[in-house]
Amino acid sequence: MHFLLASTALLALLKPDPTSAATIPSVKSVTLDIVNKNLAPDGFLRSTVVANGQYPGPAITAIKGQTLQVLVNNKLTDPTMRRSTTVSFDGIFQTSENAYNEGTAFVTTCPIAPGASYTYEVDLADQAGTFWYHSELSVQYVDGLRGALIVYDPDDPHRSLYDVDDLTTLLQLGDWWQNSTLPLLAGYEATGIVPVSDSGTVNGIGRYQGGPAVPFAVTNVVYGKRYRLRIINQSARNVFTVSIDNHPLTIIEVDGVNTVPHTVDKIGMLAGQRYSVVINANQPVANYWINAPFVGGLPARNLHQNATLSRSILRYKGAPIAEPTTPWTLGPENGTALVEADLSPLVATVPPPPDVTMTLDLQVIAGQAIWNVNNISYLAPKVPTLNKVLAGATNASDFDPTENTFVLPAHKTIEIEFPPTDDDDAHPFHLHGANFWVIKSMSSPDVNTVNPLRRDVVGVGGTGTTIRFRTDNPGPWMFHCHIFWHKQAGLATVMLSSPADIRQAVHPSRAWQALCPAYNALPAELQ
């Protein structure tokens, strides 16, 4: 595939070389054909919505400083699923000038109609790390449209800690449903019960209870080498706990932010979160389990679900082609688990004191698929937020109440507090357009205003969570739960920074301006 860098070429680019910047093209072109294809990730064949015919979609790789031009061709035809689409690039900020390429349906764009194409321009600027892309239309990515986006840094400050970092060291975790999203969503809206997945997948492969013994995915290693594993939770609901038997995990990056190395045995990962870890292949040559059990609803609601079947294999060169013979050793009661509050950025930044303080209170209407943020259930407007801003919308009153849009001043520090809840469930809240300081993690009672972690997906709930972010990137940026069933049920807001600056900075292309008229002209069954 023309947009995947070969490992050897990539490693050459990553070597410290003062002339290497001149050899890296400033623009990289990628093509994603969004198609329906019959696939069986867990052994059950079903129609899917996927990029380039595969689940997960092809990994997009780039070098820090490049601009991606991602041509999306919508070739969807299956009437059992949504046939329009969008693609969002999670964790990539997008500058205010480029907000119209951000890909959030009905916030920064209209969807791409079936049979149409659109090229997203993604300016990576100075970002590097582990990201991913997925459909941002309704719950469409549940049907398979999700994949990795890796931005390599030739001057990675952690480069001395590992020997191998390429596409063979990706671990992409996903929850998988054997039914398509339209009936699943209808069932959720009728009962208020979030669908329970049939299985979990690691690098696109899983098993379900009573199903075929699909061969597990394999990560190959060589004794004596150190590997940077980039782990992405691409789920729409499930929380995965990742461990590798007999191999500690040294965390060096969280959601695109380099961190002080921190070693644990297992990591709990919410939907949308990403971690880079270093493992040392220093154990006896053998096969070892890469464990990724998950939680996500009551298993009694889906008898296919067996969370312990969510796993893959770490295979040393010279080991037999076989499954590990050792039992899973890091159950909930064993091993050192990550405590988010123990992480700190490699380069500490002291968050400025807040200029604006907000409280977001999350509530669900019992027995219904309705979630509220401050008593408002988000409902996507017919005219996207950005279109309204470009047409003159400036104040909160210029938007429908159900858009739950907070108008924020430019170049200020915003603090958001999520009050404690009666349970320990975590909603993974994700901010578009920026990341944030985690002033108080739900994993700890402590408040950190000295060197707090920065990330773009954080768990809220439990003992309460507090974050701060800067409005230095004007735009309408969605802030929502990354359990997409909850987002679809209204658990979302829009953080609108400086409408006047947006109007001055944003000059959309004709192709973008054509998206809404084309989408609005479609019959409902094609939207």
The DSSP secondary structure of 407-436, one letter per residue, reads: EE-TT-EEEEEE---SS---EEEEESS--E
How far is 455 from 257, CA to CA, in rounded Å?
A: 7
Burial of 519 (0-12, 13-18, 19+ CB in 10 A): buried
Q: Scanning the structure block, which residue is given the tokens 């600027």? A: 125
Closest by alpha carbon to 519, among 87, 83, 110?
110
> What is residue 504's three-state secondary structure?
helix
pTM for this entry: 0.95
Q: Scanning the structure block, which residue is given the tokens 């309408």? A: 476
All structural domains of the chain, each given as residue ranges with its CATH number in brackets, are: 7-158 (2.60.40.420), 171-342 (2.60.40.420), 356-526 (2.60.40.420)
How far is 494 from 480, CA to CA, in rounded Å?
A: 8
Helices (H), 453-509: 484-488, 499-505
What is the structure's pLDDT at 373?
97
Q: Scanning the structure block, which residue is given the tokens 């408040």? A: 447
What contacts 398, CB < 8 A, 6 or more positions away? 388, 392
How far is 8 from 79, CA to CA, in rounded Å?
A: 42
Copy the structure tokens of residue 440.
């108080």
What is the structure's pLDDT at 334?
76
What is the structure's pLDDT at 12?
39
Question: Is residue 316 a contact partner of residue 247, using CB atoms and an 8 Å limit?
Answer: no
- Contacts of 43-47 with C-beta under 8 Å, sequence gap 24+, read 43/207, 43/208, 43/211, 43/212, 43/214, 44/178, 44/198, 44/208, 44/211, 46/178, 46/179, 46/180, 47/78, 47/80, 47/81, 47/180
How far is 95 from 394, CA to CA, in rounded Å?
A: 20
> What is residue 139's three-state secondary structure?
coil
Distance (Å) of CA 12 to CA 58, 216, 461: 22, 31, 44
Burial of 424 (0-12, 13-18, 19+ CB in 10 A): exposed
441 phi and psi, to 5 degrees? -85, 150
Grouped pLDDT means (10 residues each) for the chain, 527 residues: 38 40 86 98 98 98 98 98 98 94 98 98 97 98 98 98 98 98 96 97 98 98 98 98 96 98 97 98 97 94 95 98 81 82 95 98 94 97 98 96 97 97 84 98 95 98 94 97 98 97 96 98 97
How far is 16 from 184, CA to CA, in rounded Å?
A: 50
DSSP β-bridge partners for residue 173 = 202, 233
Q: Are strands 454-455 and 371-373 parallel, antiparallel or unpaired?
A: unpaired
What is the structure's pLDDT at 151?
98
Q: Which helix (H) or strand (E) holds 495?
A: strand 492-497
Tell me, what amino acid is at 175? D
What is the structure's pLDDT at 341?
97
Q: Scanning the structure block, which residue is given the tokens 């938007």? A: 399
Diameter of the chain by CA atoms?
66
How far is 396 from 302, CA to CA, in rounded Å?
A: 42
Strands (E), 255-334: 257-264, 267-269, 274-280, 287-291, 294-295, 311-316
